[in-house]
Amino acid sequence: QRQFQGDQVLRIMARDEEQAALLKMLEEQEELQVDFWRHPFGPGHPADLRVPFPSLGAVKGFLESHSFPYTVMIEDVQELLDEEKEAMARSRRVKR
Amino acid sequence: SSRAFDFGSYHTLDEIYSWMDTLVEDHPGLVSKIQIGQSYEGRDLLVLKFSTGGSARPAIWVDTGIHSREWISQATGVWTANKIAEEYGRDPSVTALLDNMDVFLEIIANPDGFVFTHSSDRLWRKTRSPNTGSHCLGVDPNRNWDAGFGGAGSSGDPCSDIYHGPFPHSEREVKAIVDFIRGHGNVKSVISIHSYSQMLLFPYGYTSVPSPDYQEMNELAKKAVSDLAAVYGTKYTFGSIADTIYTAAGTTVDWAYDQGVKYSFTLELRDTGRHGFLLPSSQILPTATETWPALLDIMVHVLEHPY
């Protein structure tokens, strides 16, 4: 099973076309393995990126160096996945 | 009984397929199950048919979960199937609809991907077919349609999540729907359900040129999102794919529209950006419940505007 410990989802708002284009470049950097949950589709629209834990430093550094406004949407993806799994198991245990 | 099923929980493929059998048993004469093909890994591609009889009636096609990780979509598909079955004979709109048209609902449009999200990678989006010359598997089934195929908003890189595939309809999951809709010949509406951007979209995605039916689609979308918002206040945006999100080539609804299916829409269900694809199961029922009036608006409009 693929694990997502420490992975975060960042919500990024590109200020202008130039920043939107920069975000697209981030998508093309395969070594960072970022997963676009919502693709950057222009200024004024949020882009959501799941960033693997090992790439967090590089990605946040990139965003800060280009003055991107961003927030952390999900602090730890694995925590949510564990909760989801537990909810499903609990539902199966309930006798209907 | 389908009444014992927990609609407020996420379920595996086997659980959903088994529940579909129960739904068919519970509603004989209204619901039947048809197989339209097999996935790459050999799983059945199953569609629920809601019909009160007659042959070659005009029809509405609905699919959920072509992107496997968008679990709220499949869960909404399950709830919606049950709702359609239960409301026939009770709700005048549903009754009028099914007295005159058929509804086809494919709850798990990408079963290989869906199973993979349960077994190996919760965040898998694509199909699971291999790509020649690449170690990366899968094609984005919403970039694989023959509508501006290979254009902007899709990728030629098999490792990309928006990889369009080697050629249009290369994916069995896509080809099965193409063959079904073409073979049926009387599909009047295609509604493809995704998550999680809270939008109601219509053609085009591959070009920013407005479609000939833009005005009518826009008015209908406006009414649908207004009725959706009336349930819990959830705000949706609406418009053409290219205007509202981005240029995206090779999508389901563009293909359907270019085939002559005028009422082609795609929904992006909740959430607002707190959980993304990991929407808690406690939101399944509210999401499905609020989506229902929007779906019904579209379906009733299709019924009342024959073409």
Per-residue pLDDT of chain B (307 residues; tens, 9 = 90+): 555 799 999 999 999 999 999 999 999 999 999 999 999 999 999 999 999 998 789 999 999 999 999 999 999 999 999 999 999 999 999 999 999 999 999 999 999 999 999 999 999 999 999 999 999 999 999 999 999 999 988 999 999 999 999 999 999 999 999 999 999 999 999 999 999 999 999 999 999 999 999 999 999 999 999 999 999 999 999 999 998 887 889 999 999 999 999 999 999 999 877 899 999 999 999 999 999 999 999 999 999 999 9
Asked if A4 lies within 8 A of B119 by C-beta distance, the reply is: no
Our CA-based measurement puts residue A88 at a distance from the nearest CA of chain B, in whole angstroms, of 6
Asked if B246 lies within 8 A of A35 by C-beta distance, the reply is: no
Q: Does B114 touch chain A (CB under 8 A)?
A: no
Q: Does B116 touch chain A (CB under 8 A)?
A: no
Asked if A84 lies within 8 A of B281 by C-beta distance, the reply is: yes
Give me the sign of the Cα torsion angle A41, A47, A52, A53. positive
Angle at B158 between CA B156 and CA B163, to 5 degrees: 55
Identify the pLDDT of residue B3.
Answer: 59
| Residue type for position B99 | D
Asked if B274 lies within 8 A of A2 by C-beta distance, the reply is: no
Residue from the list A30, A36, A80 with its beta carbon closest to the beta carbon of B275: A80
Identify the pLDDT of residue B24.
Answer: 98
Asked if A84 lies within 8 A of B278 by C-beta distance, the reply is: yes
Three-state SS string over chain B comes to: CHHHCCCCCCCCHHHHHHHHHHHHHHCCCCEEEEEEEECCCCCEEEEEEECCCCCCCCEEEEEECCCCCCHHHHHHHHHHHHHHHHHCCCCHHHHHHHHHCEEEEECCCCHHHHHHHHHCCCCCCCCCCCCCCCCCCCCCCCCCCCCCCCCCCCECCCCCCCECCCCCCCCHHHHHHHHHHHHHCCEEEEEEEEECCCEEEECCCCCCCCCCCHHHHHHHHHHHHHHHHHHHCCCCEEEEHHHHCCCCCCCHHHHHHHCCCCEEEEEEECCCCCCHHHCCHHHHHHHHHHHHHHHHHHHHHHHHCCC
Cβ-based contacts of A91 with chain B (< 8 Å): 6, 8-9, 281
Cβ-based contacts of A45 with chain B (< 8 Å): 245
- Under 8 Å CB pairs connecting chains A and B tally to 66
Residue from the list B6, B246, B281 with its beta carbon closest to the beta carbon of A41: B246
Identify the pLDDT of residue A20.
Answer: 86
Asked if A37 lies within 8 A of B276 by C-beta distance, the reply is: yes
Identify the pLDDT of residue A95.
Answer: 60
- Residue B49: C-alpha distances to residues A74, B7, B34, B71, B106 (Å): 39, 20, 7, 22, 9
Alpha-carbon gap, residue B52 to B65, rounded angstroms: 26
Pair B284, B184: CB distance under 8 Å: no
Q: Quick one: average pLDDT of A32-60?
A: 90
Cβ-based contacts of A1 with chain B (< 8 Å): 119-121
Q: How confident is the model at residue A91 (pLDDT cuts 50, 70, 90)?
A: confident
Cβ-based contacts of B122 with chain A (< 8 Å): 2, 4, 81, 84
**B197: nearest CA in chain A?**
A38
Cβ-based contacts of A94 with chain B (< 8 Å): 6
**A93: nearest CA in chain B?**
B6
Angle at B162 between CA B68 and CA B109, to 5 degrees: 30
Residue from the list B119, B197, B276 with its beta carbon closest to the beta carbon of A9: B276
* Six token digits for residue B158: 């098999």
Give the three-class secondary structure for A80: helix
Q: Does B198 touch chain A (CB under 8 A)?
A: no
* Six token digits for residue B91: 């709700």
Asked if B9 lies within 8 A of A48 by C-beta distance, the reply is: no
Pair B153, B246: CB distance under 8 Å: yes
Identify the pLDDT of residue A8.
Answer: 98
More confident residue, A20 or B269: B269
Placement of tokens 């599909």 in the chain: B187
Our CA-based measurement puts residue B12 at a distance from the nearest CA of chain A, in whole angstroms, of 9
Q: Quick one: average pLDDT of A46-56?
A: 95
* Six token digits for residue B209: 């040129």
Per-residue pLDDT of A72-82, as tens digits, reads 999 999 999 99
Beta bridge partners of B263: B189
DSSP structure class, residue A6 = T
Asked if A80 lies within 8 A of B161 by C-beta distance, the reply is: no
Asked if B278 lies within 8 A of A80 by C-beta distance, the reply is: yes
pLDDT, mean over chain A: 91
Cβ-based contacts of B273 with chain A (< 8 Å): 11, 38, 46, 48, 73
Of A18-32, A34-48, B274-288, which has the strongest mean pLDDT?
A: B274-288
pLDDT at A96 over 90: no
